[in-house]
Chains A and B, each alone.
Chain A
Amino acid sequence: MDLVVARPEGLYCPPGDFYIDPWRPVARAVITHAHGDHARWGMGHYLASQDSEGILRTRIGADMPLQTLAYGETLEHHGVRLSLHPAGHVLGSAQVRLEYHGEVWVASGDYKVEPDATCAAFEPVRCHTFITESTFGLPIYRWPAQAEVFREINDWWRANAAVGRTSVLFSYAFGKAQRILHGLEAGIGPIVVHGAVEPLNRVYRQAGVALPETLYAGDLAKNDPRLRQAIVIAPPSAGGSSWMRRFGDYADAFASGWMMLRGTRRRRGVDRGFVLSDHADWPGLLGAIEATGAQRVMVTHGSVAVLVRYLREIRGLDAQAFDTEYGEEDDVPAQQGEASS
């Protein structure tokens, strides 16, 4: 029997009578990670990883009805054996493993296979059926090594600082921002963060993730000389807003997997695009799927049709589409670029 089916409320586990990352209010929800399109407000009961608790409570409410599990810890519910395993996407992100009468399904939420220091590394979990995302499900998406990208970011910052120009780097406030902070060379200059990034840094630090010392942008006066050597980490929504005026002469950049393409980079209208994603690239998706040993693959949000066809025709797997409300629709990359980047 199918352990997960698509319902109007979200992905549903019939024997366990609970949902995974539902987009409408339901009684019981298992949450893979705390990004807004996966963790929504209004559920009767939440189950999530221990590492995600800090973020979830910051975003949904301190008193939310939340139960947590450590990675690998198991729980039985209506005969369904459930455990959570690292997905390598952001702090606390988890794949949900379900086992019922010997049948194993894994719902991966969003995942990234290259390890980074700000969250537990992706762990392949053997299963019969694997539910995968497909955000970057086209062979044009092949990430450079992140060490290389961080070198580029630091070089860009250093060059700007040398001529007294602020470096403003736009990135999603939760996950990507902390990953960038971790990769910055603190010796180059002051590191300044936007108000949307600051509270998340606090949670990461409490969870034991080493982040360099940061200044809160609101604490600096408009002409503070420190700004001329500084890098500023801000969410994309700050771009073009009056908030930017305080930096005077600045160079800007955007960090996202979508920056792989010249068109999206130009549409962003920033000076530089850094290819840095918290999702798997094409080889990453294919490798992760293969490592599960699954014969059946359900594909959610992203390039659904492409990945399904590829898995069926080239890999000979039983692949199907799952209609969800995660990330962006079908083949729309980087329009907002916020929910999935």
Chain B
Amino acid sequence: MKAFADLYARLDATTSSNAKLAAMRDYLRDAPAEDAAWAVYFLAGGRPRQLVPARLLRETAMAVAGLPEWLFEESYQAVGDLAETISLLVPEATQASDEGLAVWMQERLLPLRGLPPEETAERLPALWAQLDRRSLMVSLKLITGAFRVGVSRLLVTRALAALADLDPKRVAQRLVGYTDLAHRPTAEGYRALIAAESADEHAQRGGQPYPFFLAHPLQAAPERFDELLGPPGDWLVEWKWDGIRAQLVKRDGLIWIWSRGEELVSERFPELCELAGCLPDGTVIDGEIVVWKHAPAALAGELFDASAGAVPPAAGEFGVQPFALLQQRIGRKNLSAKVLQDAPVGVLAYDLLEWQGDDWRQREHRERREQLEAVVEQCPNPRLMLSPLVTGDDWADLARQREASRALGVEGMMLKARTGQYGVGRTRDVGLWWKWKIDPYSIDAVLIYAQRGHGRRASLYTDFTFAVWDGAPGDPERKLVPFAKAYSGLTDAEMRQVDAIVRKTTVEKFGPVRSVTPTLVFELGFEGIAASSRHKSGIAVRFPRMLRWRHDKPVEEADTLATLKELLE
């Protein structure tokens, strides 16, 4: 455990990728395979289900440290992380356990799941007494599922590749599914990750998907596109769908559906499993799952054709439906017939990664696209659709068409290099995808509540609730109605300034939350907006964040609920 805790400390202490790579390499080189197996699992983003309820951890920690609850809470508020708080409050162990990460996980921590609370409360102090402060904090983070250390999956892939002298793409391929909930890391599994490449590896892949290729944000002005990207003809342009990125893997007569988080989601989309019937074995399609309502055949062709500059009248009613609908469906444990009927899904296919059992990722995008069109055509199931290509005379024309995004229910456009290969993660050496998103919605809102943040924002007031007015300016009766929470978008310096103002203008404290005299106005950005009966304002917004601090705007001039509701249209 100590070696892994030291690795955590090394990774946590630096922002340099090279230093992180070196730390991982050193650890993996020296660690027994069973420990390395678990380390890779956690570093690559694996999260076991919560082993002990947070409430029980708190109660046990209070008892062990001999502290009243209020003092524990004050401490937690200052630290901003439960695992760290407990590690700082309980007496430091006099002797540290020599057992490795695998023994700790398999014999000490995993068995805690599902135990009666009294039994867990009895076992925990004895476990804690064997861990030095750092190991204790790390193991608590493993227990609470809050283990995060600023290492990307790509970086883990590179570390393993360097260690085993393998192509990182091969390692990425092997890592797919490694962090799946159902998978338990083993020494054997780890050895397979770093084993020398074998000739029949490709044939043994079962339902494994390929690592997803990810796009980079494009923020330049369209006037500069010619200079930055060359002519539009070098790119395949599509709409950017607001759904769930997924791979459809059809092999050996079966179909597997994988989400971008490399989670197997086949069971959530039973209607897509029908596609097994019309896709030949050895086919892997990359695309977007969306809730889709089929339009009458006469309208279907024009639905996403914005080249004339106007949005077809049927858009919104048919075709892709708001993400909120998909989200409701994902949240369901049981998919009733009603849900399947109200929120039917389809796949908008945009890439072909495998065809007739061959890995097509090294082929040019235009060639993959051509074959994809043939595959979709030969599959008569209407749930499988092509993500249409958008064409324009020049970048200015495309920019004009892009303005219809919101009305079409899409997030903007995707630009994919016509001759590019299909890369791994955010690589950009063999191919390149740009996401050219539309500007977010924005609204000027007033900060009314603040709560202290977590992690590096611990003990600073950085998590805010924002409100808009429920009446027009001049209305003496009007009130501020909360509608969104946001915590990102400020610079460190701004964060400190806002924190100081929150403290100075506090009206009341309710537990960790402070209400403040409204003095601060921020421009909030968000990606989507929907009516909601669960929110006081009647509105729910998606991905709200602070775009800028409106020093220039007095509170009275912040936006109103009416303005916000207009965006619903």
B partners with A: yes
Binding site for B on A (CB under 8 A): 138-140, 142, 260-264, 266-267, 269, 271-272, 303, 306, 309-310, 313-314, 329-333, 335
If A261-B79, A306-B71, A310-B71 touch, does A140 touch B88 (CB 8 Å cutoff)? yes
Query: Which A residue's beta carbon lies closest to that of B75?
Result: A140
A-contact bits for B50-92, CB 8 A (1 contact / 0 none):
0000000000000001011011001100111100110011001
A123 to chain B, nearest CB (A): 28
Report chain B residues within 8 Å CB of A329.
503
B71–A271 contact, CB under 8 A? no
B499–A332 contact, CB under 8 A? yes
Report chain B residues within 8 Å CB of A272.
13
Total chain B interface residues with beta-carbon distance under 8 A: 32
If A139-B71, A313-B68 touch, does A266 touch B459 (CB 8 Å cutoff)? no
Query: Which B residue's beta carbon lies closest to that of A258?
Result: B459
A262–B503 contact, CB under 8 A? no
A140–B79 contact, CB under 8 A? yes
Write 17 A-B pairs (CB below 8 A) sorted by A numbering: A138-B71, A138-B75, A138-B78, A140-B88, A140-B89, A260-B88, A261-B84, A261-B458, A262-B455, A262-B458, A263-B454, A264-B458, A266-B456, A306-B71, A309-B70, A314-B68, A332-B503
> Which of A263, A272, A332 has most chain B Cβ within 10 Å?
A263
Report chain B residues within 8 Å CB of A333.
78, 459
Report chain B residues within 8 Å CB of A269.
15
Binding site for A on B (CB under 8 A): 12-15, 65, 67-68, 70-71, 74-75, 78-81, 84-85, 88-89, 92, 454-460, 492, 496, 499-500, 503
CA distance A266 to B11 in the complex (A): 12
A260 to chain B, nearest CB (A): 7
Report chain A residues within 8 Å CB of B85.
140
> Which of A261, A313, A332 has most chain B Cβ within 10 Å?
A261
Query: Which A residue's beta carbon lies closest to that of B496?
Result: A335
Query: Which B residue's beta carbon lies closest to that of A263?
Result: B458
A139–B79 contact, CB under 8 A? no
Report chain A residues within 8 Å CB of B454.
263
B150 to chain A, nearest CB (A): 9
Query: Which B residue's beta carbon lies closest to that of A270?
Result: B13
Report chain B residues within 8 Å CB of A138.
71, 74-75, 78
Closest 5 CB pairs of A and B: A263-B458, A266-B456, A140-B88, A140-B75, A267-B456
B255 to chain A, nearest CB (A): 44
CA distance A314 to B418 in the complex (A): 72
CA distance A309 to B68 in the complex (A): 11
CA distance A327 to B87 in the complex (A): 27
A250 to chain B, nearest CB (A): 13
Query: Which A residue's beta carbon lies closest to that of B453?
Result: A263
Report chain B residues within 8 Å CB of A330.
503
B499–A335 contact, CB under 8 A? yes
Which of A140, A263, A303, A314 has a CB less than 8 Å from the CB of B457? A263
CA distance A139 to B500 in the complex (A): 24
B89–A139 contact, CB under 8 A? yes
CA distance A333 to B84 in the complex (A): 17
A271–B13 contact, CB under 8 A? yes
A262–B81 contact, CB under 8 A? yes
Report chain A residues within 8 Å CB of B89.
139-140
Is chain A's interface secondary structure helix, strand, loop, or mixed overall?
A: loop
B65 to chain A, nearest CB (A): 7
A326 to chain B, nearest CB (A): 16
B84–A262 contact, CB under 8 A? yes
Which of A262, A306, A335 has a CB less than 8 Å from the CB of B12? A262
CA distance A160 to B343 in the complex (A): 60
B503–A139 contact, CB under 8 A? no
A331–B459 contact, CB under 8 A? yes
A214 to chain B, nearest CB (A): 27
If A266-B455, A266-B456, A314-B68 touch, does A142 touch B13 (CB 8 Å cutoff)? no
B496–A139 contact, CB under 8 A? no
CA distance A314 to B70 in the complex (A): 12
Report chain B residues within 8 Å CB of A260.
88
CA distance A264 to B81 in the complex (A): 12
CA distance A222 to B465 in the complex (A): 49
Q: A261-B84, A267-B456, A306-B71 are in contact. List 16 more A-B contacts (CB 8 A).
A: A138-B71, A261-B459, A262-B81, A262-B84, A262-B455, A271-B14, A272-B13, A303-B74, A306-B74, A313-B68, A314-B68, A332-B459, A332-B499, A333-B78, A335-B496, A335-B499
Report chain B residues within 8 Å CB of A331.
78, 459
Query: Which B residue's beta carbon lies closest to that of A313?
Result: B68
CA distance A266 to B75 in the complex (A): 18
CA distance A309 to B65 in the complex (A): 18
B230 to chain A, nearest CB (A): 38
B533 to chain A, nearest CB (A): 37
> Which of A139, A140, A313 has most chain B Cβ within 10 Å?
A140
A139–B65 contact, CB under 8 A? yes
Query: Which B residue's beta carbon lies closest to that of A330?
Result: B503
B490 to chain A, nearest CB (A): 13
B78–A140 contact, CB under 8 A? yes
CA distance A266 to B460 in the complex (A): 13
Report chain A residues within 8 Å CB of B503.
329-330, 332
B71–A263 contact, CB under 8 A? no
CA distance A139 to B74 in the complex (A): 9
Query: Which A residue's beta carbon lies closest to that of B86?
Result: A140
Report chain A residues within 8 Å CB of B458.
261-264
Report chain B residues within 8 Å CB of A261.
78-79, 84, 88, 458-459
CA distance A138 to B79 in the complex (A): 10
Report chain A residues within 8 Å CB of B459.
261, 263-264, 331-333
Report chain B residues within 8 Å CB of A314.
68
CA distance A192 to B70 in the complex (A): 46
A263–B68 contact, CB under 8 A? no
B550 to chain A, nearest CB (A): 23
Report chain B residues within 8 Å CB of A264.
458-459
Query: Which A residue's beta carbon lies closest to that of B457?
Result: A263
B382 to chain A, nearest CB (A): 51
Report chain A residues within 8 Å CB of B70.
309
Query: Which B residue's beta carbon lies closest to that of A137?
Result: B74
Report chain A residues within 8 Å CB of B67.
139
A102 to chain B, nearest CB (A): 36
CA distance A236 to B67 in the complex (A): 35
B65–A263 contact, CB under 8 A? no
Report chain B residues within 8 Å CB of A313.
68
B501 to chain A, nearest CB (A): 12
Query: Which B residue's beta carbon lies closest to that of A329?
Result: B503
Report chain A residues within 8 Å CB of B78.
138, 140, 261, 331, 333
Report chain B residues within 8 Å CB of A140.
75, 78-79, 85, 88-89
Query: Which A residue's beta carbon lies closest to that of B16?
Result: A271
CA distance A59 to B455 in the complex (A): 38
B499–A263 contact, CB under 8 A? no
CA distance A330 to B503 in the complex (A): 9
Report chain B residues within 8 Å CB of A306.
71, 74
